[in-house]
Structure 1
Amino acid sequence: MTPRRWLITGCSAGLGRVLAEAVLDRGDQAVVTARDPRSLEDLVAAHPGTCRAVTLDVTREGDAAAAISVAEQEFGGLDVLVNNAGQGMVGAIEEGSPEEYRPLFETNVFGVIETTRAALPALRKAGGGRIVMMSSGAGIAGSAGSGYYNATKFAVEGLSEALAQEVSPFGIATIIVEPGPFRTEFLGRSMRMAAAEMPEYAGISAGGRRRYRAEHDGRQPGDPRKAIDVLLRAVDAEHPPLHLPLGAGVYAAARRKFAGFLQTMDEWEPLASRTAFDDA
């Protein structure tokens, strides 16, 4: 297979770091990015001919375009964009403040939009490629205590489904990756907690989400390298999946949601579908 040319956001840790290592180890070329590229110096040292480290803060205007220019200048183009940079937030909806949740949307939603917009001309110029959107199982089903994070990932899902239809005529495939809990630093440094901790929510599921972080950080069941192996197979597939849940727990949660959704549709469709004008 011809080596691919990648740009990956959020490579300092987590799935982004494991993905960067995997694509470089298999002989692909990659522009790896982080807010502080010094965290990526070992990748460049290990792969001096195929790796370039670039500063990229997805919330800062111009950073994405500059990183894509490096891919074009150093490697002659871009084949795969991975929108991986992101952060989480725990707290009930009532507990969150604008100072806490607006930056979450800036990174997880608007940063993804601007990075994708900047990359599309290069992907179209290459005559095809892949756009990998790192969503989450939290983008499939909402859960108490994660509402703001759910909202950002639901936005990524809708954006990506529309994008897939827009770019498929150019030979560009979109893959929405929906990981469950994998053993990365996500529950640690990538997760912010709502400063307000209201006693009204402490004994119910929103409060339980706070305890989940403390109890499961570093103990998640998912193996990041196995997740990346599946992701690479999807990227390399002739017909990649639009949705790629990762982890047995995500599949179980999705099936529960879809089963409930279908049951509600069956119950209410006879009444709720009869909403057109009588002469329509």
Structure 2
Amino acid sequence: MSKRVWLITGCSTGFGRELVKVVVEQGEIAIGTVRKHEQVSELESINPELVKGIVLDVQKQDTIDQAVRLIEKEYGRLDVLVNNAGYGTLGPIEETSEEEMQRQFDVNVFGCVRMIKLALPFMRKQRSGNILNITSIAGLNGFPGVGIYNGSKFALEGIGEALSAETKHIGIKVTNIEPGPFRTDWAGRSATYNESAIEEYKETATKNMESIREVSGNQIGDPVKAVKAMYEVTTLENPPVHLPLGGPAYKRVAIRLEEFKEEIDKFRHLGRPTDYTEEELERMD
């Protein structure tokens, strides 16, 4: 088999940059996207033979179309797509502007779907491929102060699950990667903070935002270990649809599952009896 070709978005820093290194260490080809032309040569310096840097903005279809032409011309195949480009907007839902909400979803949701649409024709033709969506533990559990970000990641989680069901039978495998806190730029320069001026949110949204800001740069998660796990999942014959990363993520998932079950069971008496009864259905027939 020829070298696998990867397309990884958001390679200026963080997970994207580290994943490029892991991919080429394995002798595979990494096409990495960056936002600025001056970042291309820096990325390619990792390994000029195996790394191809391209300028791509997931909000701009013309740059995505250019990537398609490049892949068709130079490689003729695409084996792995990693939807890593994204950012977090923080702030109370009430105080987040319409413009910022639109931007958050355009990057984190619609941008990822645009990239998926880029990848699928290649993968359908090959009858094989992996798509990794870098979502977040925030895509499984809502937190104060990050509600709009939560919404974007919840959306991507659902899209990934549905895509897996649509494509698994033709050899295309989809995994939602759900990191907890990792030592990347996510909570630093990559984040947008919408400070709250409403007193009622001081002990909820504002408190959590301050906690996120304070831990930035000191998170327990190791990005290098994270991207090695991402690489490994693409080698599995039957990869999971969900892969939390890091101890805090697994702890949060366990708590969430328990809370969810408890809540569903507690109010079953209200929600469960809302179907037509057999007698009612017989009368209707």
TM-score bracket, shorter-length normalisation: over 0.9
Q: What is the match of residue 209 of structure 1?
A: 208
Q: Any residues of structure 2 matched to 1:82-101 within 5 Å, and which?
A: 82-101=82-101
Q: Any residues of structure 2 matched to 1:44-63 within 5 Å, and which?
A: 44-63=44-63
CA change 1:46–1:144 in 2 (3 A) is closer
Say yes or no: does 1:192 pair with 2:205: no
Q: Any residues of structure 2 matched to 1:225-240 within 5 Å, and which?
A: 225-240=224-239
Three-state SS of the structure 2 residue aligned to 1:144 is coil
Amino acid corresponding to residue 75 of structure 2 in structure 1:
F
Q: What is the match of residue 224 of structure 1?
A: 223
Q: What is the match of residue 8 of structure 1?
A: 8
Q: Which moved more, 1:164-173 or 1:193-202?
A: 193-202
CA change 1:128–1:205 in 2 (3 A) is same
Shift of 1:209: 2.2
Shift of 1:91: 0.6
Three-state SS of the structure 2 residue aligned to 1:62 is helix
- Unmatched runs of 5 consecutive residues or more in structure 1: none
Three-state SS of the structure 1 residue aligned to 2:189 is coil
TM-score, normalization by structure 2 = 0.93
Q: Deviations over 1:203-234 (max 9, x none)?
A: x1211122123311111110000111111111
Q: Which moved more, 1:158-167 or 1:70-79?
A: 70-79
Q: What is the match of residue 165 of structure 2?
A: 165
Task: Determine the C-alpha separation between the residues in 2 that align with 1:2 and 1:262.
Answer: 47
Q: Which moved more, 1:133-142 or 1:257-266?
A: 257-266
Q: Which moved more, 1:2-11 or 1:205-214?
A: 205-214
Shift of 1:274: 1.5
Amino acid corresponding to residue 127 of structure 1 in structure 2:
R
Q: Which moved more, 1:64-73 or 1:85-94?
A: 64-73
Three-state SS of the structure 2 residue aligned to 1:12 is coil
Query: In terms of Rg, which structure is larger?
Result: 2
TM-score, normalization by structure 1 = 0.95
Amino acid corresponding to residue 39 of structure 1 in structure 2:
Q
Q: Which runs of 4+ in 1 moved over 4 A?
A: none
Structural RMSD (CA): 1.5
Amino acid corresponding to residue 255 of structure 1 in structure 2:
A
Amino acid corresponding to residue 239 of structure 1 in structure 2:
N
Three-state SS of the structure 2 residue aligned to 1:273 is helix
Identical aligned residues as a percent: 39
CA change 1:187–1:266 in 2 (3 A) is same
Q: Deviations over 1:68-106 (max 9, x none)?
A: 332232222100011110010111111111122211111
Shift of 1:252: 1.0
Q: Any residues of structure 2 matched to 1:111-150 within 5 Å, and which?
A: 111-150=111-150
Residues 40, 55 of structure 2: 8 Å contact kept: no
Three-state SS of the structure 2 residue aligned to 1:192 is strand
Q: Deviations over 1:120-143 (max 9, x none)?
A: 101112221100001000001000
Residues 43, 51 of structure 2: 8 Å contact kept: yes
Q: Deviations over 1:154-202 (max 9, x none)?
A: 0000111111111112200001000001001111111001155323322
Q: What is the match of residue 260 of structure 1?
A: 259
Amino acid corresponding to residue 42 of structure 2 in structure 1:
D
